Structures are given as C-alpha cells and as structure tokens.
C-alpha cells in the first residue's frame, strides 16, 4: 500500500487548475474539477468508464497506448455512444450520434482529466438524460500531432447534420499552445461546431488570448453545472447571448461524484485522481488557490463510499488533489483510517496489489492525532508533499504566505525520524525579493532535515494570480508565453536564473532520483566544502560547461561525470570515489558498464528491482539509502 501525502506546496488551484495547473507545478496534469478540469495536477492530468457496459468508444477497447489517447462513450457504452457516430445519423432504431465531445491534451498517458469526468458525471443531472447519452469523452496527449487529434475528434462527432455539435476543451498552462492550434484547425474544417473552453488558463485575462477569440463560448471557474446547462441551451435553446459565462459554484452536494467514470484500464494503468475537498483558505499569491475564499468539503460518507467502490473494482492508486488535506483533522484521520483498514487486504503477499495514496498537507499543522495515524503505516505506503517554498520570513510576508517555519522544520524532522513516509519537499526560486543567497540558506536549512527529495521549482506567473502586483516594485519579468516562467527579478539576473534552472535539473537526476546517496554525500559534505547548495552549484556549473546538456544524460553518464568532478576538481581519491559510485550503481539496479567502473562491477543475474514501477524503484532507492 502506498499513500502519497502532499504537505501543502500550494501548486495549482484545486478549483482552477490541475494536476498538478494548480500552484506552480506543471508536470502532472489532472484535468481539474470545474471548468473542464478545475481541481485536479501538476505534475499530473484517466479514461472514463461507460456506465452500462464499461467498454470504450470504437467497440471493445479503443485505448491506444502508443498514440496515448482514450475514448469514452455515453452511458449506453459502444452501442449507445458510438454506433451513431460511425453511421453519421440516428434513427428510431439506432442511437443518436454523439453531439457533445469532451476533450483535452494531457501531458502524458498516465495523467488524466478528473475535471472532464466531473462534467461527464453531471451531464444527466444538470443537462438531462438525453445529453448524457450523446456525450463522449476523448483524451489525447501532447505528443499526438494536432492534425491527428482533430481527425479523431471529427470522426467521433460524425458528419455535420442539422443537430448541434459541441466540443468542450480543457485548457491549461501546459497545453494552451497546442490546444489553440487544435481549435483553429477544428473551426476551419467544421465552422459550425460549437467550441466551448474551460480551465484555469482561460478563466482569467481573456482579452488578448487567441484561443478565446477562436472559440464560441468560454466558461470561467467551475464548470460542473454550467457546462451541462450551456449544452442544454445550445441543443434545445434559447442560445446564450454572452460568449463568456461565469461558472456557477454550486454547493458540493449538488455535484455528482465522477469516480464511476474511471475505467478498469484507468485503475490498472493510470494515476487515479480523487478529492475530498475543494478550495484553499490560504492566500499565497503565486497560487490560483489564493483566489478561493475558503475550502469546501464533500460529504465524507459519500466520498468514502465512492473510494470503497473504486477499491472493490481493484483501484490501488489514489492521488488526492486536495489543497489542504490536513486542514480538518477529523476528516484526515477518517480517510487515513480507511486506507489503514485495507492494508492487510491490499498487500496479501501480492506486490502489485500495494496501495498508493497521495496527499498535500499543510506543513506546519501535524497534530498528535494525525502523527499517531501516520506512524502506523509501513514503508512504501505514504508519500507526503511538503510545500515549504521559502524559509525567508520577509518573502513569505510579501507574498501573503502564512507559515510557521519552526513548526514546519519540527514536523519534517519528525516525519523523517518517526514515520515511513516518503517526503517530497518543495522550494520555489525567483519569488519577489528572494536573492540567490537567501534561497541558498533556505535550501541548506531544508537539506539538513534530510527529506527524501527536494523538488526545486521556478516561479511562474499564472493568469489571475496576485503575484503580478509585485512586478513593478520588484522588477519581475516573466516569459510572455506559457508557462510564464520568471526570466529575471530585481535581485536575480537572467544568467543566475539560467544557472538555477540547470541546478534544478541536475539535482533531480542526481539527488532526487535516489541513485547516488553515497556519492552525493561525498559531493556535498566533504572537508572544505561550501554549503550543500553551493557545493552542488559548483558541480552543476562544471557539468554544464563540460557536457552542455541538461537532458539525455543516462545514469552511466552521471557516474562518469561524478567520478571526473570529484577526482579532478575536488581532489578526492579515485578509490574513494569508485567505492561510493560502485555501491550506488549496484544498489540502483542499473546494468550497464560506465567507464569509471569498468572491471569493478559484479556479475548479476537479474535486476535488483526487476518488475517494479519507476515510482516504486525511486522510492526503494531512497529507503535503502536511509537504512
């Protein structure tokens, strides 16, 4: 069983973004809860289940992992959702062709849109049974050429007849460029199709956006209720007069939960996004969640019943997208108890049956009741995301971030010493007024706590966030195109930001990967070394100067680079460096033959971590290095 708890890093807004487009993390990609995916990451971004027979559009399984697209028909499955699309018309004896198509471009196949599944789940309740039966969900990845995406969408819609055809698109910071081209081509080839946009990227600052100009309608904010209502108006009339529609924030008990829309294949192969609450009471200005007035909790009994339904269907990976999971401890304890109660059943001697659960948790709020619950989980179950962002008190106050640094530090120390949780801790570089020296102090303070991973992000100016108010005073200059990364500030020049970008990439490859624990200790903690931050910065600068690459570096490339740097640049003996690298390389399960270790590697019959997923391997390496 694996549970991933995020200690509030305040990345993308649960209401207005992610997977991971919530605060600052863009790699994952959950669709989001409201406007075509508001409320789901980074990171982050699962095919839905046909409610009647559970089959995918196209007959049987139309899930192409190579092309990384997923199609989900209406509630009558293939018969009700696809036959009409293929024939191009409906008769009394044949189902109606799908006229409403939900789509988005996910970052990876493993990511999926929780938000689109909310829209699908609420079509009947807020749009009508007839609309639900002719609604299809079709997901793609960014790797799919736009022309192929549009061809697939038109094939799902079928020929244009007298009926209204609607395509709802989830738009995020990571897919807005490609989605703009998709909408442009779609409207060129079929001008009468009604394109409706939603998502965090089109919920704010709409005036200058090309994708907004191309579309017919835009729903800002929550879309669970507003999208079905708009579809009903477009199909049955009267047609809305306004292009931009403010999403209706309905009480959560009026929003149908989407978890029945996950397919068996989703449960087996993709991250399963869930949420017990929406919103955030905190006001960190770099995060869209700062625009929320508070946090709203779903009915816990209904939510746990939905989790039980997923569990009985075989779900073992649960990634919570709640912004503040441990805000209300009573609810947090009940949810953790839910997973504790299922540990024996989930394990049962079957490694592939282990649970994975992921939470974001406020870093300075771990009451004793919660600690007692966390301490009961065995290794490999819990993963916490700890959002520190900055230890600089002046910077925290400047961006309206409330954080007790002493409590945060004590909680991280407790988690390392007294729990088996895998810790991801986050820092953001480029915040207003934060110098390289100040950031280095915070990095060293965090590194001293020995979390398993320190994830390093660079500030992004998400549309609508209050961080923009500091631009003039603090010399903040951002990229004009997504993901709107800060280019330089009043106290950090462009060259330093580029250095840090490389530092972050190399840190992930060397430190966060868990592949080099003994060698990393030599690099950071040897005699006459500067602080850990500056010690690694020296290596990062040297690696860039000698390799001129931040991608495409294999573990073997890094072994050789570390050997060269520690020996030639820092004067560590070859025997000492080789001993550390050999121990790390063998423990990592790698099986090649780097130059620095030729003649030293033992003969191995099988990989140490054979059969384990990349995530499991990464965490096993960290556990092994920590004893």
- Exposure on the CB side of residue 27, measured as CA atoms within 13 A: 5
How does pLDDT run across 123-142, given as a tens digit for each residue? 999 999 999 999 999 999 99
- Tell me the average pLDDT of the chain: 84
Within-domain flag for 16: yes
DSSP 106: E
Number of domains in the chain: 2
Query: Residue 626's pLDDT band (boundaries 50, 70, 90)?
Result: low
pLDDT of residue 30: 33
pLDDT of residue 324: 85
Give the integer Cα–Cα distance in Å for 537 and 506: 9
Instruction: Look at 277-286, 303-312, 340-349 and tell me which has the smallest mean pLDDT.
Output: 340-349
Within-domain flag for 8: yes
Within-domain flag for 43: yes
Distances (CA, A) of 616 to 101, 259, 354, 421, 612: 36, 25, 10, 13, 6
Distances (CA, A) of 432 to 22, 284, 487, 503: 19, 12, 12, 20
Instruction: Look at 83-97, 176-190, 274-288, 544-558 and tell me which has the smallest mean pLDDT.
Output: 83-97
Query: Residue 380's pLDDT band (boundaries 50, 70, 90)?
Result: confident
pLDDT of residue 53: 24
How does pLDDT run across 569-578, given as a tens digit for each residue? 999 999 999 9
Average pLDDT over residues 350-370: 84
Whether 4 shows a pLDDT value over 80: the answer reads no
pLDDT of residue 624: 67
Do residues 1 and 339 lie in contact, with contact meaning Cβ atoms separated by under 8 Å? yes
Q: List the structure tokens of 525.
A: 């903690």
Whether 323 shows a pLDDT value over 70: the answer reads yes
Within-domain flag for 176: yes
Query: Residue 48's pLDDT band (boundaries 50, 70, 90)?
Result: very low
Taking phi first (over 0 means left), then psi (-120 to 50 degrees means alpha), and beta for anything else, what does residue 54 get? left
Query: Residue 170's pLDDT band (boundaries 50, 70, 90)?
Result: very high
Percent of the chain with pLDDT over 90: 69
**Residue 230, SS3 per DSSP:** helix
Backbone angles phi, psi at 276, to 5 degrees: -95, -15
Query: Residue 291's pLDDT band (boundaries 50, 70, 90)?
Result: confident
Give the integer Cα–Cα distance in Å for 33 and 223: 8
Within-domain flag for 245: yes
pLDDT of residue 80: 33
Average pLDDT over residues 140-151: 97
Average pLDDT over residues 446-475: 96
Within-domain flag for 86: yes
Closest CA to 194 of 206, 183, 180: 183
pLDDT of residue 328: 92
pLDDT of residue 90: 38
Domain hosting residue 289, numbered range:
1-349+357-376
How does pLDDT run across 61-112, given as a tens digit for each residue? 233 333 445 555 544 333 333 333 333 333 344 444 559 999 999 999 998 8
Whether 200 shows a pLDDT value over 70: the answer reads yes
Q: Which residue has the higher pLDDT, 23 or 498?
A: 498
pLDDT of residue 293: 79
Give the integer Cα–Cα distance in Å for 614 and 626: 19
Give the integer Cα–Cα distance in Å for 41 and 424: 15
Whether 488 shows a pLDDT value over 70: the answer reads yes
Within-domain flag for 231: yes
pLDDT of residue 500: 98
pLDDT of residue 615: 66
Q: Where are the alpha helices (DSSP H) in 39-81?
A: 77-81
pLDDT of residue 71: 57
Average pLDDT over residues 343-371: 79
Whether 367 shows a pLDDT value over 80: the answer reads yes
Within-domain flag for 197: yes
How does pLDDT run across 203-234, given as a tens digit for each residue? 999 999 999 999 999 999 999 999 999 999 99
Average pLDDT over residues 592-603: 91
């Amino acid at each position: 069983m694996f549970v991933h708890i995020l200690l509030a890093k305040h990345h993308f807004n649960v209401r207005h973004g992610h997977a991971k487009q919530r605060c600052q993390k863009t790699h994952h990609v959950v669709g989001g809860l409201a406007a075509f995916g508001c409320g789901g990451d980074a990171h982050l971004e699962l095919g839905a289940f046909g409610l009647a027979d559970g089959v995918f559009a196209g007959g049987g399984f139309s899930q192409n992992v190579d092309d990384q697209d997923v199609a989900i028909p209406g509630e009558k499955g293939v018969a009700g959702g696809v036959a009409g699309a293929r024939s191009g018309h409906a008769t009394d004896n044949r189902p109606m062709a799908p006229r409403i198509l939900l789509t988005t471009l996910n970052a990876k196949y493993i990511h999926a849109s929780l938000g689109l599944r909310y829209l699908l789940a609420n079509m009947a309740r807020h749009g009508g049974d007839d609309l639900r039966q002719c609604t299809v969900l079709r997901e793609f990845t960014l790797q799919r050429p736009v022309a192929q995406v549009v061809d697939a969408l038109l094939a799902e819609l079928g020929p244009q007849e007298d009926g209204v055809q609607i395509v709802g698109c989830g738009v995020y910071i990571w897919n807005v460029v490609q989605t703009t081209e998709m909408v442009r081509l779609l409207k060129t080839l079929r001008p009468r199709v009604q394109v409706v946009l939603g998502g965090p990227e089109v919920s704010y600052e709409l005036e200058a956006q090309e994708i907004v100009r191309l579309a017919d309608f835009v729903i800002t904010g929550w879309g669970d209720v507003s999208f079905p209502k708009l579809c009903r108006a477009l199909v049955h009339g009267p047609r809305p007069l306004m292009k931009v529609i403010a999403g209706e924030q309905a009480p959560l008990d009026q929003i149908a939960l989407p978890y029945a829309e996950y397919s068996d294949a989703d449960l087996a192969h993709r991250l399963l996004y869930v949420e017990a609450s929406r919103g955030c009471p905190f006001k960190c200005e770099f995060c869209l969640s700062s625009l929320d007035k508070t946090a709203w909790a779903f009915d816990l009994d209904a939510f746990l019943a939905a989790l039980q339904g997923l569990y009985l269907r075989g779900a073992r990976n649960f990634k919570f997208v709640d912004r503040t999971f441990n805000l209300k401890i009573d609810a947090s304890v009940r949810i953790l108890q839910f997973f504790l109660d299922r540990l024996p059943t989930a394990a049962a001697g079957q490694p592939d049956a282990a649970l994975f659960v992921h939470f974001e948790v406020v870093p300075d709020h771990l009451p004793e009741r919660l600690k007692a619950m966390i301490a009961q989980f065995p290794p490999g179950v819990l993963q916490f995301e700890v959002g520190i962002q900055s230890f600089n008190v002046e910077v925290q106050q400047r961006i309206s971030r409330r954080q007790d640094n002493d409590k945060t530090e004590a909680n991280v120390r407790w988690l390392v010493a007294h729990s088996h949780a895998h810790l991801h801790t986050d820092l953001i570089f480029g915040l207003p007024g934060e110098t390289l020296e100040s950031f280095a102090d915070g990095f060293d303070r965090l590194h001293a706590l020995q979390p398993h991973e320190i994830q390093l992000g660079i500030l992004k100016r998400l549309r609508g966030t209050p961080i923009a108010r500091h631009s003039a005073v603090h010399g903040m200059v951002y990229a004009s195109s997504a993901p709107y990364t800060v280019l330089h500030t009043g106290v950090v020049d462009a060259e330093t930001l580029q250095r840090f970008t490389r530092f972050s990439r190399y840190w992930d490859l060397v430190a966060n990967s868990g592949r080099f624990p003994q060698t990393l200790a030599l690099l950071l903690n040897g005699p006459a070394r500067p602080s850990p931050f500056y010690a690694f910065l020296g290596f990062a600068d040297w690696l860039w100067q000698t390799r001129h690459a931040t991608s495409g570096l294999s573990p073997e490339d890094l072994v050789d680079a570390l050997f060269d740097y520690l020996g030639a640049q820092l004067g560590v003996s070859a025997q000492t460096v080789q001993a550390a690298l050999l121990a790390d390389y063998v423990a990592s399960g790698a099986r090649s033959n780097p130059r620095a270790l030729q003649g030293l590697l033992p003969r191995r019959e099988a990989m140490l971590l054979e059969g384990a997923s990349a995530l499991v391997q990464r965490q096993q390496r960290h556990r092994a290095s920590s004893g």
